[in-house]
Amino acid sequence: DRLRLDCKVAYVTGGGQGIGRAFVHALGEAGAKVAIIDIALEKAQAVAKELEVNGIKSVAMAADVSKAEDVKRIVDSIVANWGRIDIACNNAGINMNSASEDTTLEEWDKTFNVSLRGLFMCCRIMLSQGYGKIINTASMASLIVPHPQKQLAYNTSKAGVVKLTQTPGPEWIDRGVRVSCISPGIVDTPLIHTDALKPLVQRWSNNIPAGRLARVTDLQAAVVYLASEVSDYMTGHNLVI
Ligand code: NAD
């Protein structure tokens, strides 16, 4: 079965809850060993326990993806323990909500650093292996901006994630490394249940073609597809869900 990921080594950042947790389960069920990376170690450990129940091999690791030294540490540690990295899901993200004119430099830097720093720390090992699948989590907000908005830093950083996908993708494909990203619409995760986002989400929801918020399970097949050999001819793609 060409959608199987047996013997593959994966990591998922922000794997402790929401979309990342769903990606961890999907990759694990498809046969991959998964490093679950989160700034909140206890969340990653809880997900590792869930996998253990199903006999899936995983490890929980604490890291702040906005810090280059943290990302280097986890990449080195995965390679030391499991020998390689085949699938890298750069999924961690944060969402702060200010009107554009109120966006602080601190909010800007924090959002950009989580979204964009350290996304390619795995590329050297993948290029030296001659194989790898990088799957970034962008957002539909990288493409369209539903009104009303209060997400200047977030939307702009997610547009950056798309360019961080489209630029190196074609550059690396003849060396075996593919880069793609997934752009979900509004997904029912803890991220959207903040006081600031709730009223916005309510307004945006009226325009969802499917008539409901996405569930994390709506995204799972996509990550397996992009991680598996069936999508080997594709790179630089932004898959909107
Ligand atoms: P979430 O807030 O439910 O989960 C995010 C996880 O990332 C948490 O476990 C958190 O602890 C972890 N995290 C936060 N900062 C981190 C850091 N610096 N280093 C490591 N881990 C960190 O969010 P989610 O809804 O699952 O979102 C996952 C990704 O999907 C994000 O990139 C988000 O921008 C994107 N996204 C979400 C939606 C949505 O509607 N939920 C829509 C489009 C895109």
What is the per-residue pLDDT across 56-72, written as a single tens digit (0 to 9) for each? Answer: 999 999 999 999 999 99
Distance (angstroms) between ligand 1 centre and the Cα of 18 equals 7
- Are 13 and 89 within 8 A, CB to CB? yes
Residue ranges of the chain with pLDDT lower than 50?
none
Query: Which residue bears the tokens 């977030």?
Result: 154
**In this predicted structure, what is the pLDDT of residue 134?**
98
Residue type, 155: N
135 lines ligand 1 (CB under 6 A): no
Q: Which of 11, 154, 225, 233 is catalytic?
A: 154
21 lines ligand 1 (CB under 6 A): no
ipTM of the complex: 0.99
- Are 46 and 15 within 8 A, CB to CB? no
- The dotted CATH code for 9-240 is 3.40.50.720
**In this predicted structure, what is the pLDDT of residue 2?**
96
Has 11 been annotated as catalytic? no
Distance (angstroms) between ligand 1 centre and the Cα of 174 equals 31
Cis peptide before 170 (omega within 30 of 0): no
> Which ligand 1 atom lies nearest to the CA of residue 154?
34
Instruction: Work out whether the CA dihedral 65, 66, 68, 70 comes out positive or negative.
Output: negative
d(CA 181, CA 189): 19
**In this predicted structure, what is the pLDDT of residue 144?**
87
Provide the token pair at 131: 């194989």
d(CA 5, CA 31): 5
> Which ligand 1 atom lies nearest to the CA of residue 187?
40
Where exactly are the structural domains of the chain?
A: 9-240
What burial letters (b/e) apply to 210-225, b meaning 16+ CB within 10 Å? eeebbebebbbebbbb
**In this predicted structure, what is the pLDDT of residue 125?**
95
**In this predicted structure, what is the pLDDT of residue 196?**
86
